[in-house]
């Protein structure tokens, strides 16, 4: 069932009765089902998930860790993925056919992944080939649909995550003269800049106007950035960094590379959700941090590392609304449906798309 089916037909939505259950009752029932199913059930949880869900996760991680885990797990019959749709699709493509991946709420999408569709991508590719010939390798952030990953796989490219973007870009630049980077312009720009590529060698492809935005000859563009972004991370601005530093000149600013180039340049450091956690964990006790990433994670690190002084870079905090759709009632509902032999939210990527998308995923997983 696609997300569209769910939204249009109101099918596959959790019954209202789950919303009136007490937390204690839900927690007890989830714990019992986990106990009953043992290793035949695996619950991966992305770092942005709510605590009420994360407490039941068998493994937590950033996108790369969760993809690696999916590729390695042989035992689980059901993988109840607590994250967003593209992550569950990736898990489905990297697990065996006998394993079933379930997303507890099919409405848990990613607005960034929706910023590149196949029609736009085919149009962009044709246009760019006419402009610069067969000189481009496509890369896609894992925050993209399985179809986009398949497109990239078909054209010799790879997926990237925020933890391995640098290595994958380095690899890609050995394959072809230039890169088309989908769909997050910020991760692409920040990573390429880190590798020493100047901003004037980067152009932006606008999928709304079908135009390459550059003041220079397109042939000089080494990196072509898709004009997409994360609606959560765009809410961190240079003004936030400035005002926090005015208040506290010793505070360290750490952000996710989905933030804009200006914010990343102004911050002390940038990296994936895992990098943010590891860096704060390893810091001297008493270090003051302003963190530019999703609010559930910021709040969790605050609780887990009370010896550090942690606050959000944006005082209004930024939740990822789609990540937040996975909550305790949805987790319980997904597990009870599995237990009754009627799983809901099953993610199954079609065979043709899977084969090509896996090429892109495996190229990424092979790069160290």
Binding region for ligand SF4 (CB under 6 A): 84, 110-112, 143, 230-232, 258, 294, 320, 322-323
- Looking at the chain, the number of H-run helices and the number of E-run strands are 15, 16
Backbone torsions φ then ψ of 291, nearest 5 degrees: -110, 130
Q: Which of ligand 13P, ligand SF4, none does residue 272 bind to, with CB < 5 to 8 Å depending on kind?
A: ligand 13P
Residue whose CB is less far from ligand SF4, 178 or 330: 330
> Assign residue 269 a region: left if phi > 0, alpha if psi is -120 to 50, beta otherwise?
beta
63 labelled ligand-binding: yes
Q: How far is the CB of 12 from ligand SF4 (least distance, A)?
A: 21
162 labelled ligand-binding: yes
Q: How far is the CB of 37 from ligand 13P (least distance, A)?
A: 26
17 labelled ligand-binding: no
Residue whose CB is less far from ligand 13P, 14 or 64: 64
46 labelled ligand-binding: yes
**DSSP structural state of residue 15:** P
Q: Which of ligand SF4, ligand 13P, none does residue 111 bind to, with CB < 5 to 8 Å depending on kind?
A: ligand SF4
Helix (H) or strand (E) holding 80: strand 78-80
Q: How far is the CB of 230 from ligand SF4 (least distance, A)?
A: 3
By C-alpha distance, which of 101, 86, 172 is closest to 364? 172
Q: How far is the CB of 3 from ligand SF4 (least distance, A)?
A: 14
> Assign residue 252 a region: left if phi > 0, alpha if psi is -120 to 50, beta otherwise?
beta
86-118 burial, b if ≥16 CB within 10 A, otherwise e?
Answer: bbbbbbbbbbeeebbbbbbbbbbbbbbbbbbee
Q: How far is the CB of 112 from ligand SF4 (least distance, A)?
A: 4
47 labelled ligand-binding: no
Q: Which of ligand SF4, ligand 13P, none does residue 273 bind to, with CB < 5 to 8 Å depending on kind?
A: ligand 13P
Q: How far is the CB of 275 from ligand 13P (least distance, A)?
A: 8
Q: Which of ligand 13P, ligand SF4, none does residue 191 bind to, with CB < 5 to 8 Å depending on kind?
A: none
CA distance 150 to 350: 11
Residue whose CB is less far from ligand 13P, 121 or 163: 163
Residue whose CB is less far from ligand 13P, 12 or 44: 44
CA distance 9 to 2: 11
Is residue 319 within 8 A of residue 232, CB to CB? The reply is yes
Residue whose CB is less far from ligand SF4, 215 or 316: 316
CB 306: neighbour CB atoms within 10 A?
9
CA distance 37 to 316: 40
Residue whose CB is less far from ligand 13P, 160 or 334: 160
Helical H runs in the chain? 3-9, 23-37, 51-54, 63-72, 85-94, 118-132, 146-154, 165-175, 185-194, 238-247, 261-266, 273-282, 295-304, 328-339, 351-366
Q: How far is the CB of 36 from ligand SF4 (least distance, A)?
A: 31
Is residue 254 within 8 A of residue 269, CB to CB? The reply is yes
Binding site for ligand 13P (CB under 6 A): 47, 62-63, 143, 161-162, 230, 256, 258, 272-273
Q: Which of ligand SF4, ligand 13P, none does residue 327 bind to, with CB < 5 to 8 Å depending on kind?
A: none
Residue whose CB is less far from ligand 13P, 76 or 165: 165
- Residues annotated in a binding site for [4Fe-4S] cluster: 110, 230, 320
Q: Which residues are annotated as a binding site for iminosuccinate?
A: 46, 63, 141-143, 162, 256-258, 273
Which residue ranges are tagged as binding site? 46, 63, 110, 141-143, 162, 230, 256-258, 273, 320
């Amino acid at each position: 069932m696609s997300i569209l089916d769910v939204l249009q037909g109101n099918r596959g939505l959790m019954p209202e009765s789950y919303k009136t259950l007490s937390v204690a009752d839900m927690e007890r029932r989830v714990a019992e089902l986990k106990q009953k199913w043992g290793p035949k059930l695996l619950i991966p949880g992305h770092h942005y998930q709510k605590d009420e869900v994360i407490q039941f996760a068998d493994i937590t991680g950033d996108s790369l860790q969760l993809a690696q885990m999916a590729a390695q797990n042989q035992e689980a019959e059901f993988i109840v993925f607590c994250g967003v749709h593209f992550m569950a699709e990736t898990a489905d493509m990297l697990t065996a056919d006998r394993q079933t991946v379930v997303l507890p709420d099919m409405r848990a999408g990613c607005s960034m992944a929706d910023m590149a569709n196949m029609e736009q991508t085919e149009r962009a590719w044709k246009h760019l080939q006419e402009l610069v010939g067969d000189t481009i390798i496509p890369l896609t952030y894992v925050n993209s649909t399985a179809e986009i990953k398949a497109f990239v796989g078909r054209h010799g490219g790879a997926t990237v995550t925020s933890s391995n973007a640098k290595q994958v870009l380095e690899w890609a630049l050995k394959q072809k003269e230039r890169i088309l980077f989908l769909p997050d312009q910020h991760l692409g720009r920040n990573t390429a800049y880190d590798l020493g590529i100047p901003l004037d060698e980067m152009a932006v492809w606008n999928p709304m106007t079908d135009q390459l935005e550059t003041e220079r000859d397109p042939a000089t563009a080494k990196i072509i950035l898709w004009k997409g972004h994360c609606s959560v991370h765009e809410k961190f601005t240079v003004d936030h960094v400035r005002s926090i530093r005015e208040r506290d000149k010793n505070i360290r600013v750490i952000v996710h590379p989905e933030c804009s180039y200006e914010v990343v340049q102004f911050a002390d450091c940038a990296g994936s959700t895992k990098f943010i956690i590891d860096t704060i964990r390893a810091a001297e006790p008493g270090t003051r941090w302003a963190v530019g990433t999703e609010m559930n994670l910021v709040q969790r690190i605050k609780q887990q590392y009370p010896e550090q002084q942690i606050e959000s870079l944006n005082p209004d905090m930024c939740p990822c609304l789609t990540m937040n759709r996975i909550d305790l009632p949805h987790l319980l509902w997904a597990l009870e449906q599995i237990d009754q032999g009627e799983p809901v939210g099953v993610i199954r990527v079609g065979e043709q798309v899977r084969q090509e998308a896996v090429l892109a995923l495996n190229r990424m997983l092979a790069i160290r």
